[in-house]
Amino acid sequence: MTRALIAEDEPILAATLARTLQGLWPDLDIVATAPNGLAAVEQTLLLRPDVLFLDIRMPGQTGLEAAEELAERWEGPAPFPHIVFVTAFDDYAVQAFEHAAFDYVLKPVSSARLGKTVERLRGVFEARAVSAPNALAPDALARLLGQLQALAPAVEPVERLTTIRAAVGNAVRMIPVADVVFFQAIDKYVNVVTADAEALIRVPLKELLPQIDGTLFRQVSRSTVVNMACVTSAGRDDLGKVMLTLRGRPEKPRVSPVYAHLFRQM
């Protein structure tokens, strides 16, 4: 039986979508309804549904952000859920969805349009049942993440930072960006780690990222951005997860499966 999760903050819309889906696809088991973008991620990771209906404008985080977070945190063996975005008229340039790996429906959801989506999904899952899908295809996930990030609103070009200004006691420490070994997101703060010191700055990682050199600094997980020049090796731990060894620091940051391709042999 195919299992679905609905993430939608407006209760009537969630109930209506569930009801319409049930009518079109009686075999579908709707395992949960999440009322916001944060619950959507947690419940999806917990319940491992096959299909995820994600509203785009939700409190906590948007449907796109939820999908990104899921792609970064998803681990086998269950295959990554098939995502259907549910979007109101002007949430997103709908053309952006046309060539992407996920489906979308417009609100108010028309029964006929949803019927087409259901038909396609059934086809996908029937084929999957025959060929017995392998657990996880990291490359496919990385591709999916790339497509998701392309959908996000274009970040305005910002000036590149050369120095990080961090408050340490009463003074402001000037840290050359090139000296940073890695950035670690902690809630709304970022811990800036150099070979010999650490400093907290009050800038979310998402805002900091576009301001630093993307060829030198690479995101390796949801919360960590490393200076590639400081990575000496990448190994696997007992659970088979990729860990990095850094020059001048004892920490061994974990790499999300979606970013593991950055550290594969040439």
Partner 1 sequence: MASISQPTQSAPRSRLRRLLTELPLSIGISALLAGFISLVTGRFLENLVVSVLIGIVAFAIVFGGRQLLPERAGWRLREWAALGALAVLAAPIAHFTGLHTAGLILGIRTPTLAEYPSVDRISMIVFTFLGTTLMVVLIMNRERVRRAQEEQAASQLRAEVIERQALQAQLRLLQAQIEPHMLFNTLANLQGLIALDPARASDMLDQLIQYLRATLSVSRSESTTLEQEFAAMQAYLGLMGVRMGERLRYQLDLPPALRKARLPTMLLQPLVENAIVHGVEPKVDGGDITISAALDGETLAIEVRDTGLGLDQVRAPVGGGGGGGVGVTTTRERLDALYGERAALALNAAHPHGTLARLTLPLEFEQ
The answer to whether 12 contacts partner 1 (rule: CB under 8 A) is: yes
Work out whether 22 is an interface residue with partner 1 (CB under 8 A): no
Query: Per-residue contact track with partner 1, 101 to 130, x per CB under 8 A?
Result: ------xxx---------------------
Q: How many residues bind partner 1 (CB under 8 A)?
A: 26
Question: Contacting partner 1 (CB under 8 A), which of 6, 9, 44, 259?
Answer: 9
Question: Which range binds partner 1 by CB under 8 A, 60-68, 75-83, 123-131, 234-242?
Answer: 60-68
Among 68, 69, 72, 91, binds partner 1 (CB under 8 A): 91
* Shortest distance, position 107 Cβ to partner 1, whole Å: 4
Assigned token pair, 54: 């994600």
* 256 forms part of the interface with partner 1 (CB under 8 A): no
Interface residues with partner 1 (CB under 8 A) are 9-13, 15-16, 19, 35-36, 38, 56-57, 59-60, 62, 64, 88-92, 107-109, 153
